[in-house]
Amino acid sequence: MKVLVINAGSSSLKYQLYDMTDETVLAKGLVERIGMDSSILTHKPTGKEEVTEVSEILEHTTAIRKVLEKLTDKEHGVLSSVDEIQAVGHRVVHGGETFKGSALVTPEVKAEIRRLFDLAPLHNPPAIMGINAAEVNMPAVPNVVAFDTAFHQTMEEKVYLYPIPKVLYKKHRIRRYGAHGTSHQYVSRVAAEFLNRPIEELKIITCHIGNGASLTAVKGGVSVDTSMGLTPLEGLMMGTRSGDLDPTVVTFVMNKEELSISEVNSMLNKHSGLLAISGSSSDMRDITDGWEAGKPNETLAFEMYEYRLRKYIGAYAAAMNGVDVIVFTAGVGENSAIVREKTCENLSYLGVELDKELNKVRSGEPRRISTPNSKVEVLVIPTNEELMIARDTLQIVQESK
């Protein structure tokens, strides 16, 4: 079965086409600047040259049509006909409390995703545009939605509720939802497979640290706590997001600086984190370069980032009464040996012992970076949210037949 995975943003659309008989990627690509006059389609068929095309793509329906043209193109294509695509999987950021797993798209499911626009105003609307565009271009093909929040729906009430008036939860469903669920679920499963141990027996802390960053405590294969909250702003210090702070900072700053809600939201989401403290960059590569060169602002940014990460690891070890495995994943987690080294250096009280040489190896495969003596297995596992979505899509479509 061939499955197309789509991740639709407001002005972009990423795609990957899988052959699920052996889970290989046949092609992948990206449409950028949708809605602008010079949209860019970058298409990479596996084993062939990447092609880039600039044209006017005003909305997602045209974007998917162009993608399908490329997938079936004589020169750059990998399919003889669009009919070979048997299902489409869509990434959706917010599934609220309704979706505890992936789901087959029906009119009711779409209505529910729309109802959740309030909780993810920037992210859920483009997902609906992506689904509509797939339905228009491939009317006979089933669509499946996979939610970033679904994996965390196993959290207990005592974990997901905020200690604020309960009426706010009843009226507006204000609570912790978390994010990156597909990634946390994927890497925790791969960790158990890699260690050849049943996931039910393991206490795993998954550190998805990329531009956005979140930690999850995975106990017995389910999420018991996660650092992102109502929105992906809570928790760790990130590239441009603040992560945890005293909520009073928000009202205080709004008052003193005469900021509107949207201005303060923009400050916390786009002008905080590594970028704010370093004053130079949100990219961990620049921060570690600056730290190595002894630049004071980058050094402070690096130290704050590592300190906050370590505090959360400690908190989740406490939440689970121990930890067997720590997994590093995503842009920083997979690539920054120095972030992993400095974080683990300060986890010796948990019995973490890092093999510094193994930590420097780059392979693109799941690997162990702890010593044989380490009481906690430390792993680097490349995340693969698209594959997880493709697997869910295949399973749900097969079950629905």
Binding mask 60-89 for ligand AMP (x = CB under 6 A): ------------------------------
Give the nearer residue to ligand AMP in terms of CB position, either 89 or 210: 210
CA dist 88 and 5 (Å) reads 6
Active site residue 148: yes
* Selected catalytic residue, list 83, 148, 355, 392: 148
Binding mask 89-108 for ligand AMP (x = CB under 6 A): --------------------
Determine the distance from the C-alpha atom of residue 123 to the mean position of all C-alpha atoms in its chain, rounded to a whole number. Answer: 13
Please report where in the chains the tokens 């070979």 appear, as a residue. 84
Give the nearer residue to ligand AMP in terms of CB position, either 86 or 336: 336
Give the nearer residue to ligand AMP in terms of CB position, either 129 or 332: 332
Give yes or no for residue 280 binding ligand AMP (CB under 6 A): no
Among 29, 77, 130, 210, binds ligand AMP (CB under 6 A): 210
CA dist 161 and 155 (Å) reads 10
Determine the distance from the C-alpha atom of residue 232 to the mean position of all C-alpha atoms in its chain, rounded to a whole number. Answer: 10
- 378 forms beta bridges with 326
Give yes or no for residue 284 binding ligand AMP (CB under 6 A): yes
Give yes or no for residue 11 binding ligand AMP (CB under 6 A): no
Query: Whole-number minimum distance, CB 336 to ligand AMP, in Å?
Result: 4
Give yes or no for residue 384 binding ligand AMP (CB under 6 A): no
The three-state (H, E, C) secondary structure of 333-388, written as one string: HHHCHHHHHHHHHCCHHHCCCECHHHHHCCCCCCEECECCCCCCEEEECCCCHHHH
Query: Whole-number minimum distance, CB 311 to ligand AMP, in Å?
Result: 20
Q: Over the range 312-321, which residues count as b (16 or more CB within 10 Å of their CB) and which as e?
A: bbbebbebbe
Restricting to residues 302-341, name those near ligand AMP by CB under 6 A.
330-332, 335-336
Query: Whole-number minimum distance, CB 382 to ligand AMP, in Å?
Result: 10
Give the nearer residue to ligand AMP in terms of CB position, either 60 or 208: 208
Give yes or no for residue 154 binding ligand AMP (CB under 6 A): no
Among 239, 243, 273, 290, binds ligand AMP (CB under 6 A): 239
CA dist 58 and 35 (Å) reads 4
CA dist 23 and 297 (Å) reads 44
Among 283, 289, 341, 355, binds ligand AMP (CB under 6 A): 283
Give yes or no for residue 285 binding ligand AMP (CB under 6 A): yes
Determine the distance from the C-alpha atom of residue 329 to the mean position of all C-alpha atoms in its chain, rounded to a whole number. Answer: 10
Q: Which residues are known to be catalytic?
A: 148
Which residues bind to ligand AMP, rule: CB under 6 A?
210-211, 239, 283-285, 330-332, 335-336
